[in-house]
Amino acid sequence: MNTDTAKVNSSTFWEAYYAKHREPANCSMFAAFVSPFLKEGKRLLEFGCGNARDSIYFAQQGVNVLAIDQCSNELDFLTDKFKDLDHLNFKSGDMTNLPELEASDYLYSRFTIHAIDRSGEQRLLQWASNNLKSNGLFFIEVRSIKDTLFGKGEALADNAFFTDHYRRFITLKDFEHRLESNGFDILYSLESNGLAPYKDDDPIVIRVIAQKK
């Protein structure tokens, strides 16, 4: 089965979504879970920050954050709104085709790896491996194949389904192997509900902490 690139490219969907959800809400439960692992003054890069609720939370703790997203309108809004907040910078772009940047101590991806296809994931993991310092930590939360949304919509390649946007559901063991083959050790993984409830939905999601060798 081929994946239609127009369906994978989600920028129009997310620009429209964030035009209606411009203001950052409270940080996610995942960000609160990650926070104790972070040290003030270190560098964190967030892939797919959306309205930057988690990046803002980390910057407020004195972590130097670079928040990346494809939604340039939303990032223009956030750049202006948070111009006086120290430790926070934004960069608009495709997280699967990033240039080399100053190495980070931490990488953070919440609900973004299921928004890209397998080839995009591989470019992102390779980039992550090249741009994370040795022993640096990569924090990931992503939808699992055990999510009740799995199977809803038009079936595409690699456990992906298209509803009003693209979602590619992740098999934990396979994903761990892909991280390992890109130079990471798995320090922690969990697949469970109760981690990312939203309105009436309590999906089974995957959390991973991987460490660059």
Number of residues that bind ligand SAM (CB under 6 A): 18
Beta bridge partners of 107: 45, 138
**170 binds ligand SAM, rule: CB under 6 A:** no
Indicate the residue among 185 and 190 with the shorter CB distance to ligand SAM: 190
Question: How far is Cα 150 from Cα 127, in angstroms, rounded to an integer?
Answer: 28
**131 binds ligand SAM, rule: CB under 6 A:** no
Indicate the residue among 116 and 172 with the shorter CB distance to ligand SAM: 116
| Candidate segments 42-50, 129-137, 151-159, 171-179, binder of ligand SAM by CB under 6 A | 42-50
Figure out which of the listed residues 70, 129, 144, 182 binds ligand SAM, where binding follows CB under 6 A: 70
| Candidate segments 58-66, 109-117, 150-158, 179-187, binder of ligand SAM by CB under 6 A | 109-117
Q: Looking at beta carbons, which pairs linking 147-155 to residues 24 or more positions away fall under 8 Å? A: 147/203, 147/204, 147/205, 148/201, 148/203, 148/204, 149/203, 154/7, 155/1
Residues that bind ligand SAM (CB under 6 A): 10, 14, 28, 48-50, 53, 69-71, 94-96, 110-112, 115-116
